[in-house]
Amino acid sequence: MILITGGAGQLAKEFQRFFKKNSIDFLAPNRLELDITDFDKVRDYILNNDIELVLNCAAYNLVEAAEEEKDSAYMINAYAVENLAKICKEKRIEFVTYSTDFVFDGTKDSEYTEEDEINPLSVYGRSKALGERLALEENKRTFIFRVSWVFGEEGKNFIEGVKTWANTRESIKIATDQVSSPTSTRDIVDITWKILNLRDRDYGIYHISGAGETSRYEQGKYILEKLGYTGKVLEGKCLDFTSYDIRPKYSKLSSKKVENILGIKIPSWCSRIDEYLKVGKTYLITGA
């Protein structure tokens, strides 16, 4: 039995669709059903349900709010992750968890690789970075997938935000000074599953990100054009929307490691957004 934590999240839902389609047994409790910060309950749940793999999709993702809610961010993104890794070690099972491009400071001018030094600028980034370290220290059989700008069906994501603005605003301002790459939950699930099914296990950190890079502004404009939006699209800066200067200016993750291991090419972020906007289309990652 596979446990997917944070069952109501967008990545967790993609795993559920994938497992249903492939007739794989899973449990996907939402936060109310299994709060990952309830350490004892989590241990009982994993032991009593004979869990053989944990996919931790639960996370505290509110980047700005985390500056005020440090305890929650650290508890969910670091200490609960450590606890999950520890229980998996006790049960001698593999542990998978997800991290973020926000562990980097954004000063590099080329794609971030798994070997690059981390230097998070925010509480969110630091809490995720600590979760990575504690999980790897606790359980050698841990996979950490760093992902960026995630979007998936039924998710609370940037594309859905843009759709709402398109329906309610005559002009839309979006930041030009944040560059990375949108990443589809379908690619994250597909790659996670392929890595987990390799015969030779190479635990540790992997980056997954849609091919290409873009600013939030360019991404927003791309979506608005597809939606046929006729209002104005204005260039802004991150600091027009928040007083916290904590988002890396550039955080594109290099996916070369997973692409080389699996012999695949992750499709471009725009092609995945095209598919997302016509929800329901199935697609496969093409072989290299």
Of 19-27, 146-154, 220-228, 280-288, the segment contacting ligand NAP by CB under 6 A is 146-154
**Residues 3, 10, 82, 83: which binds ligand NAP (CB under 6 A)?**
10
- The smaller minimum CB distance to ligand NAP, of residues 97 and 230, is found at 97
Contact call for residue 31 and ligand NAP (CB under 6 A): yes
The alpha carbon torsion through 181, 186, 189, 191 (nearest 10 deg) reads -60
Contact call for residue 59 and ligand NAP (CB under 6 A): yes
Q: Which residue's Cβ has the minimum distance to ligand NAP? A: 9
Which residue in the block uniquely carries the two structure tokens 């793999």? 53
Contact call for residue 57 and ligand NAP (CB under 6 A): yes
Contact call for residue 147 and ligand NAP (CB under 6 A): yes
Cα 163 to Cα 182: distance, rounded to the nearest angstrom: 16
**Residue 186 corresponds to which tokens in the numbers above?**
């379908």
Question: Per-residue x/- marks for ligand NAP, 79-108, CB under 6 A?
Answer: -------------------x-x--------
**Residues 95, 149, 217, 250: which binds ligand NAP (CB under 6 A)?**
149
Neighbours of 257 (CB within 10 A): 18
**Residues 2, 11, 123, 253: which binds ligand NAP (CB under 6 A)?**
11
**Residues 3, 9, 45, 54: which binds ligand NAP (CB under 6 A)?**
9
Q: Could you tell me where the DSSP H helices lie in the chain?
A: 10-21, 39-48, 70-74, 80-90, 123-138, 158-168, 185-196, 216-227, 256-262, 269-277
Q: List CB contacts of 128: < 8 A, sequence separation 6 or more.
A: 59, 77, 78, 99, 100, 102, 103, 120
The conformation of residue 268, written as its DSSP 8-state character, comes to B
Cα 216 to Cα 14: distance, rounded to the nearest angstrom: 24
**Residues 16, 17, 35, 173: which binds ligand NAP (CB under 6 A)?**
35
Task: Please report, as ranges, the residues that interact with ligand NAP according to CB under 6 A.
Answer: 5-6, 8-11, 31, 35-37, 57-61, 76, 98, 100, 147-150, 155-156
